[in-house]
């Protein structure tokens, strides 16, 4: 099997267009923090990325398209970091690890994630991305619950339905906590972890 050198590979394969697209998305994330979605403009994104307005349109046709791509990049990070949750054998460890990764991601990208939630009902592409991500997490939570002994199935007291409720509870709890402080996020995580452990029958 040939050896793999990450740094060399990136230098060899990352094209100028990739660098520009990343700069555009990084600028979108920064502008969300400083201006908010409604005040963002295509001109502002282009200026922040160091390109002309015309050059930006080569990559994205509107600020909505650019923000949709930013959401896509963020949820990819979200899923990559949390992929192992469904593969961890011990349910308590899986739950603790999942909640810690969730805190980290909301600390790093909370603004993008709140924007995704806010726009998910009015921008179909973002809604589809966010719902797909939720489905992946629901499947992971379901697997943890089943390993903890919760019966498989879709009845109200069975793993699939409980996982769906836990997923949306965690999303909404973190949405509100992330607007306050990192301490509030940590408290929210502890509460959600406690409820998940009770749901799994791991504590009384």
**3-state SS assignment for residue 15:** coil
Report the alpha-carbon distance of residue 158 to residue 155 in Å, rounded: 5
Q: What pLDDT digit, counting tens, does each position of 104-119 carry?
A: 989 999 999 999 999 9
What is 6-59's CATH topology? Arc Repressor Mutant, subunit A (1.10.10)
Q: What pLDDT digit, counting tens, does each position of 67-107 carry?
A: 999 999 988 877 776 666 556 679 999 999 889 989 998 99
pLDDT of residue 87: 64
CATH superfamily of 67-199: Tetracycline Repressor, domain 2 (1.10.357.10)
pLDDT of residue 58: 92
- Is the Cβ–Cβ distance between 161 and 89 less than 8 Å? no
Report the alpha-carbon distance of residue 195 to residue 8 in Å, rounded: 45
Low-confidence ranges of the chain (pLDDT < 70): 1-17, 81-88
Please count the residues of the chain: 204
pLDDT of residue 8: 36
pLDDT of residue 6: 37
pLDDT of residue 15: 65
- Is the Cβ–Cβ distance between 92 and 197 less than 8 Å? yes
Per domain, the residue ranges of the chain are 6-59, 67-199
């Amino acid at each position: 099997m040939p050896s793999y050198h990450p740094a060399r590979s990136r230098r060899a394969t990352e094209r100028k267009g990739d660098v520009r697209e990343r700069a555009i998305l990084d600028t979108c994330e920064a502008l969300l923090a400083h201006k908010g979605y409604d005040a963002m403009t295509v001109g502002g994104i282009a200026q922040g990325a160091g390109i002309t307005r015309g050059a930006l349109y080569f990559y994205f046709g509107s600020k909505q398209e650019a923000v949709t791509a930013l959401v896509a990049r963020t949820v990819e990070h979200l899923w990559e970091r949390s992929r192992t949750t469904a593969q961890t054998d011990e349910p308590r460890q899986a739950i603790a690890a999942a909640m810690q990764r969730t805190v980290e991601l909301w600390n790093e990208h909370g603004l993008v994630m709140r924007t995704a939630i806010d726009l998910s009902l009015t921008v179909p592409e973002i809604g589809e991305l966010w719902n797909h991500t939720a489905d992946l997490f629901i499947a992971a939570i379901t697997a943890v619950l089943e390993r903890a002994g919760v019966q498989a199935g879709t009845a109200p007291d069975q793993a699939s339905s409980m996982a769906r409720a836990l997923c949306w509870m965690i999303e909404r709890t973190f949405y509100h906590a992330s607007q306050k402080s990192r301490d509030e996020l940590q408290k929210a995580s502890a509460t959600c972890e406690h409820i998940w452990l009770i749901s799994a029958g791991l504590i009384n």
